[in-house]
Amino acid sequence: MKTNSRRRRFRTAATGMLGMLMPLAMSSTAQTPPPLPPMPANIETTSVPSTQPAAYRTGLVPQVQAPAAGFNVAQIEAIAEQLTYGNRVPGMAMAIVQGGRVISARGYGVTDISNPQPVDSHTVFRLASLSKAFAGTMAGLLVNDGTLRWDSKVTDYVPGFRLDTPEATERLTVADVLSHRVGLPYNAYDRDIEANAEYYTLTQKLASTSLKCLPGDCYAYQNVAFSLIGDVVYAASGSFYEQAVERRIFKPLGMDDASLGLAGIQASSRWARPHVRSRNGWVSLTPKPTYYRVAPAAGVNASASDMAQWLLAHTGHRPDVLPAPLLATLHASLVNTPGEMRSGWRRERLQSAGYALGWRNFDYANHQVVFHAGAVQGYRGLVALLPERDLGIAIMWNGESTLPSGLMPTILDAAIGLPSRKWLDVDTDFGSDNLMAEDRPGNATGKGASANRANASPH
């Protein structure tokens, strides 16, 4: 880190039966949530360049409504349970919070087909790219401390870092990294991650990779480059990234099962093994270490119990850890991502899509949804926040199936009051969070040709 960095002072194919388990009208079990905490009077609201997030943004939803009358948690849980029947997925965990309360945090199915143990609320799953929201939040806490700025230059904290040109190198900011606006081709060097390459070896390759645009000017999803934020966190805080996340996020939020890395999940008292399909059904595997090497992009492990606390914090109910103005900044789009609107339920429900700071931001049938998906070999996961209903949902499963993806729009539709659809009968994918998505550019060209996307990775 440069000595003059100035320590800134402020700031699937499902059965029709499953698709019909959510009727149009269900009895309401939710209560009207309490109002969000008032915004501090001294919040800075001056405008900033559109390429960078504001120091603070007010406007978490001022008027919060209860979920629609058709929102019934028991029936949602019944669908989740049904998804583990008949060899659909081995196991699942789901957390739902609303109005500052945990209204569901349960496990379904088994941790391992070959040694079946029931999944419960403390069974740990690998989160893959759901980890990116933790990285954005960790950076945001340092911004809140005044030890970092969103427009801080990466080279102020990682002086040896280089991109293809001096101009691009000098221009790259913390916010650019966290919003995938580095300028590199999509998923640069993910194939190398799959081949067990070390993270620091790959960051050096970025210097010889032709750019699509200057940093800040275009979007392309990253795992290697995104993980530069771990180096920035270390330089700004003096703590290794994993230690910082443990100290600033896991412990204060009570995420007692959460960890980072392969050793972390294997040390868990109960964890879900990853599963892939074979001719004879599901086969459990040992998790690969590959994407754990890029911890900010894909390193977190957590249970349903953990994710409930994470959702409470990101719906504004832990201002002692994550203040509301910081949440508003983390969730606000910085770049459009129209490719996220092309398949499955996204094609039918999304009016617009963007990327924020480790989160996606969707216009879901004219309702804001803050979202992310994650997938790595044998694990899948989805997280969504519906601010106007003070609702948060996390769904994780331990099998390579897209089938449970339809549960998320089923829940969102019920909360909003939209007519129910058989989303579990709709073949869907993970958008550009899935490296095999049809809307993703397939290959890098020019220098750095091995920056092609991989066939399986966190998304």
The arithmetic mean of pLDDT across residues 244-261, rounded, is 98
307-311 mean pLDDT: 98
- The total number of structural domains in the chain stands at 1
- pLDDT reported for residue 87: 84
399 lies in a domain?
yes
- pLDDT-derived band at 48 (thresholds 50, 70, 90) equals very low
Tell me: the pLDDT tens digits for 27-42? 222 322 333 333 333 3
Q: Are 401 and 416 in contact (CB under 8 A)?
A: no
Tokens (6 digits) for 260:
């980072």
Residue range 162-178, pLDDT digits in tens: 999 999 999 999 999 99
Tens of pLDDT, residues 409-458:
999 999 999 998 999 877 666 554 543 332 333 333 334 333 333 333 34
Q: Is residue 216 part of a domain?
A: no
- In this structure, are strands 101-109 and 300-302 parallel, antiparallel, or unpaired? unpaired
Q: Within a domain: residue 162?
A: no
Residue 370 within a domain: yes
Domain for residue 169, yes or no?
Answer: no
CATH number of the structural domain spanning residue 248: 3.40.710.10
Question: Rounded to 5, what percent of the chain is helix, strand, coil?
Answer: 35, 15, 50
Query: Containing domain of residue 89, as a range?
Result: 55-131+240-451
CA distance 388 to 385: 9
Q: For 415, what's the count of Cα atoms within 13 Å in the CB-facing half-sphere?
A: 33
CA atoms of 410 and 75, how far apart (whole Å) = 11
* DSSP-derived 3-state class of residue 410: helix
Query: What does pLDDT average to over the chain?
Result: 84
Say how far residue 44 (Cα) sits from the centre of its chain: 28
In single-letter form, the type of residue at position 177 comes to V
- Three-state DSSP state, 210: coil
- Quick one: 254 exposed, middle or buried, by C-beta within 10 A (0-12, 13-18, 19+)? middle
C-alpha to C-alpha distances, 248 to 95, 255, 272, 298, 404, nearest whole angstrom = 22, 11, 26, 18, 31
Q: Is residue 380 part of a domain?
A: yes
pTM of the complete model: 0.84
Choose among 243, 268, 248, 244: nearest CA to 258.
268
pLDDT exceeds cutoff 50 at 256: yes
Alpha carbons 8 and 136: distance in angstroms, whole number: 18
- The pLDDT score that the predictor gives to residue 84 is 96
Reported as a single tens digit per residue, the pLDDT across 89-100 is 999 999 999 999
- The whole-number average pLDDT for the span 355-374 is 98
Exposed/middle/buried for residue 245 (C-beta within 10 Å: 0-12, 13-18, 19+): buried
Q: Is residue 427 part of a domain?
A: yes
| Lowest pLDDT segment from 16-30, 78-92, 106-120, 150-164 | 16-30
Nearest Cα residue to 123 out of 92, 88, 80: 92
